[in-house]
Amino acid sequence: MMRLQRRASLLATLSLLTSTATAYAEGAWVLWEHSYEVWVDSNKENHRRDGYWKKVTATAAKSDCDDRTVREARAEYYTLTGKGVGATLAGSEVGFDQRNTRYKHGYRSFECWPDTVDPRGVKGRAR
């Protein structure tokens, strides 16, 4: 009888661990918009300046979030080209020309992160 109770306890524990792992894999995901700029100096070296991270939406599954990255990037691309801005689209990243700044190329990428992660880093940390 004791052996049966141990097996039942072990099965219950394994079941709980499996369901927790599955819940994490299919947990909530957040779609972020990341903005940054790049300029190339006279030595052909790239210099990057991070802009902002902005939450776009939350989804229940990573696959939904991944699908949304491409849709958001396309919408951004069409908005920019509709305004006459030279832009490129590569997956979930949009590159565009900028004027009146030494950072001649701007970028917006759309990225999925688990809702437990903040890609902006630890609050109070200098970037």
Q: Going edge to edge, which strands form the sheet with 46-59? A: 46-59, 29-40, 105-114, 93-97, 87-90
Looking at residue 18, its pLDDT comes to: 40
- Domain ranges within the chain, ordered by starting residue: 27-114
Strand partners, 57: 31
Looking at residue 48, its pLDDT comes to: 87
Q: Could you list the pLDDT tens digit for every one of the 127 residues in the chain? A: 555 555 555 444 445 444 434 444 557 999 999 999 988 888 888 888 889 999 999 999 999 999 999 999 999 999 999 999 999 999 999 999 887 777 788 999 999 999 999 999 865 444 4
Looking at residue 122, its pLDDT comes to: 60
